[in-house]
Chains A and B, each alone.
Chain A
Amino acid sequence: MALNGNLRLAISSDGALFEPTLAFLRSCGIGVSRSNPRRYIADIPALPGVTVLFQRGADITPKVEEGSADLGVVGLDRYLERRSGGGDTNIVIDDLDFGRCRLVLGVPDSWVDVVSLADLADLSMEFRQQGRDLRIVTKYPRLVERFLLRSGINLFSLAHSSGTLEAAVAMGFADMIADVSESGTTMRENRLKTISGGSIITSQACLIGNHRLLRGDAGKLDTAKTLVDVMEGHLRARAYYSVTANMRGETPEDVGRQVLEHTEISGLRGPTISKVYSEDGGGWYAATVIIRKQNLADAVNRLRQAGGTTVTVSHLNYVFNSTCEAQERLTGADQGRGDFC
């Protein structure tokens, strides 16, 4: 498999993002083909010119930063923890709609006196008066430190750990933890609880890129543009349904007017009307509109009120706008979440 000149996309080889990343790329129509599960490189048959690199999740940000990958799918939490301020990377698509989690503070459930950040600030001072630090173990020292200092909690020490954090408290190695949590179940199972205001960041998978490398290679940039266009089009489509209803009318214009009378069902631009050749004679048309998913029930009711029958609803695979926002960000500086998260 030729690597030279190909766009290199780094994705997780392990952890919570491994399967969802492959599923996401598959759903975008650019599934990864890996000849052998032990190989760490693969390709995307539908998009020649891309080499997929399987990397440890924690390594993807530095790999893109140092230039050994051009793009990477990574958790926003890991990116903000590892990125260099003023470096060559930026966020190209900030929400790939999977890998959602929160980085939260977890304290022992026996701390019935601690329910908020204010309690934690108070407790840290009490610890200091007793001559010890409030010790917090985390994989995210940078994000946690900034968060605590900005929350007015100044007296603490951080211990970095890449292993299982929850045990550190039970072992007496730390007083509390800061870790990612999807549902809070692992925390509860380890007798830890979250506190009010103790959510450090909400995170999800995002696409990052090395804009310096992409600016300097027209071939890779073209491939990257196609890749992000497909991703953005697919993500946009997830917000919509295509709804088709059979409607009676004298002419297509007549049916169009009936639909446009209701803004809820007028779609992105307006309805598409086509003739239905039915056994019971003429006068039937199919009106198709694209509507937001949350408006579905309302739209179906409106279509019925407008005389619609046999309403069918379909998922969309892609919605492409006239321009692709992510393409702009491939070569530009990060305008999104920066140094202060």
Chain B
Amino acid sequence: MSWLLFGPIVLPLIAAVVTGSAGGDPRRQRAMSLCSVLGLLGLAAALLTTVWREGVFSAQAGGWPAPFGITLVADHLSAAMVAVTAVVGVAAVVYSFEDVGSAVLSRSFHPLLHALLAGVCGAFLAGDLFNLYVWFEVMLISSIGLLVVGGTRAQLDGAVRYAALSLIATTLLLTGIGLLYGLVGTLNMADLHLRVPELANQGLVTVIALIFIVAFGLKSAVFPLFFWLPASYHTPKVTVSAVFSGLLTKVGVYALMRLFTLVFVGDAGFTHQILLWVAGFTMVTGVLGAASHEHLRRILSFHIVSQIGYMILGLALLTPLGLLGGIFYVIHHIVVKANLFFVAGAVRRLGGASDLSRLGGLYRDKPLLAALFFVPAFSLAGFPPLSGFWAKFLLVRASIEAGQYAIAATALGVGLLTAYSMTKIWLNAFWKPLPGHLVPPAPLPPARRRLLLGPVAGLAAITLAIGLYVRPFYELAERAASELLDPSAYVEAVLGEAGGPVGSAGRSAGNGAAR
């Protein structure tokens, strides 16, 4: 089964090379690109069903036993994240056929996109911290590349800000990893789970945990560290914005969820309290920033920040329901947020502008676009029966059950402001008549319009499906959350059952951690 773990990383890497060498034939390149993401979707689906049926499983690269070699692990959380990544990948490739239309741009776009997908999948499946760091760097380099595809002035400006803060974040991550290795002598996460509680100097562990909070916090754009995100996410091609908004920050959230349930739980009263405050401030500042902007994609960028707060909230509560809600939120949010950026791109192409003051009349002229905007926008705001309602409901309920009434009230208030912000877009872009001095752009030919609206419709259908058939998604999040809170299955999959003599060596390493 190990090919299921290596596949989601190797396939996009191969695709990156192949699409990069496709040369001057954009049609062939696009066909290969589409084949690769569809293959990734198939692999991800197989991975998810395998984990669903058989539980956590791992693979050791090169057959080195677990705490020493490179480990890849899939539990319900990783598998679900890989699956959503593949879905976003398919939507992005289809959308890019129209959005990144020119042959020159798509020549660099497709290889970079696949390298990014490889990095994201690698980060979700990595079983040790150094490997995680390497995948973060893969993601970082390809994302800066994607950010500047096109090379406009705004893009370069945004890329400088994005690159600067991301590079600081990865260096901090590396520093944290170095300190942790010096302290514990292992970087395998399952092994860390066993060894860290036995250390004498728990104060130092907390300090290292804070370094990781800052490093991953920068990556996931939480409250005091989010400034790079709204400064850069509105500049690149729409497809790139959508992929970034769906996937990049969520990798940071995923890493926080993994580390702060598996490794750094010794001083949860302190670290998770910090995360709780961070979550609250992130929600509020993000939504206030969104409320103050008029540019469609900048509004949406600030909403990413605000929504990250909800996910961190789920982690900070560290209760089964809280984590369940956080995981559910991540899955719902990736689909919805990527879709909103796709819609914003479609609005720009079909409506002629991204500034709310220069838009209008879309509800009358383009009812289908209006309907497609309605689904993700009001799912984001948390209207029943869309997916966002369940996500918010679970988190608010978890906060109340944990006795954190203030944060529950914050989450509800921020939901209200999100609804305000979405209503603002709805009123200005869709309901208000087009300002008199502006003329609507010439309509796109139907085939090209379908390429823009097809992915939007697909993702909107997934949002509806999550909202209406919530049971399987709820159960998936429930299983993922229970695995996070009780990592014994994870630890055993990594250290215990690596097969044959390797397995017994791993087991003795696990049991004899006191040596």
- Do A and B pair up? The answer is no
User: Which residues of B line the A interface, CB within 8 A?
Assistant: none
User: Which residues of A line the B interface, CB within 8 A?
Assistant: none
